[in-house]
Amino acid sequence: MKNFILSLLSLFIIYSCHKEQSTTGSNKSNTINTVKKDSIQNKQPQQEVKTGKKPSDFVSSEYEIQYDAEGDLNQDGLADMALVLRKKTDTLSQRKMLILLKNSDKTYRLDKTSDTVLPNEYNESGYKMHDPEDISIEKGVLNINLYDIGPYGNQFSTFKYINGNLILTYIETYNMGAGSHSSLYYEPLKGKLTEETVNTMKEDMPASTETFKVKKESFLFEKASPDEIIRKAYDSIPHE
């Protein structure tokens, strides 16, 4: 009888230990799964709003609208919107530009986003690179106009919808230097670059104009940087 009781006691102890190990393993597994789930959720980026009733619906809390323009950009008879956004707490960060197309029910849909189409607002020394700046939509064309009487000069670029894509159609620059004023007129779709130089050292300020054939290019709004594009186009032509 004594041996029977001892056997029962041993079986009870073994069962209890096995149950405790199973519970501990289950809790550990649940903890790992919870940590993994939380990590995945934390890594997921904030989703962009694709449709909204008003332009501000597309602006997250960390951004503010710096400039806006209204007009029929895709030529469907409805007034679309272009927005320039900058971070509220970091004006030195790269700005965004959004293209919102209007729907027939008067809501908007986000069609294009660019992080490159606008240059930095300030240089490394905190100097504003272009002042004033403005954007507009006229006759199906998006205009981005940047002005500066200093070293950065003026830069005007235009974009137009072609087969559903917003394409860079024109860049114009104007710079005043010591002894001369120079302008560039670039039509990437035509592969045409015109350089105009005015000699300010002479009383009659003679001007010379030369047009070059360059490689035809198609630049999408989403990836276009007019600063970089005009620089590369200029570097591709012969210089004295």
Report CA-CA distances (Å) from 47 to 43, 53, 84, 206, 217.
Answer: 12, 17, 19, 56, 32
**Cα distance between residue 160 and residue 215, in whole Å:** 20
pLDDT bracket for residue 6 (50, 70, 90)? very low
- Percent of the chain topping pLDDT 90: 70
pLDDT for 48 = 67
User: For residue 125, what pLDDT is reported?
Assistant: 86
Whole-number pLDDT of residue 47 = 58
Which residue(s) pair with 137 in the sheet? 142
Average pLDDT, the chain: 86
Better pLDDT: 177 or 131: 131
Instruction: Render pLDDT for 209-229 as a digit per residue (tens, 0 to 9).
Output: 999 999 999 999 999 999 999
Token pair belonging to 58: 């597309």
Structure tokens, 188: 């990437």
- CA 203 to chain CA mean position, Å: 45
Neighbouring C-beta atoms of residue 115, cutoff 10 Å = 12
- Kindly list the domain boundaries of the chain, sorted by start residue: 51-235
pLDDT at 45 (0 to 100): 47
Residue 39 has pLDDT above 80, yes or no: no
User: CA separation (Å) from 173 to 64, 93, 146, 148, 231?
Assistant: 28, 24, 9, 11, 10
Is-contact 129 152, C-beta < 8 A?
yes
Contacts of 217 (CB under 8 A, 6+ apart): 188, 189, 191, 229
CA–CA gap between residue 71 and residue 142 (Å, rounded): 9
Contacts of 122 (CB under 8 A, 6+ apart): 91, 92, 128, 129
The residue among 15 and 133 whose pLDDT is bigger is 133
pLDDT digits (tens, 9 = 90+) for 70-99: 999 999 999 999 999 999 999 788 999 999
Of the pLDDT bands very low, low, confident and very high (cuts 50, 70, 90), residue 11 is: very low
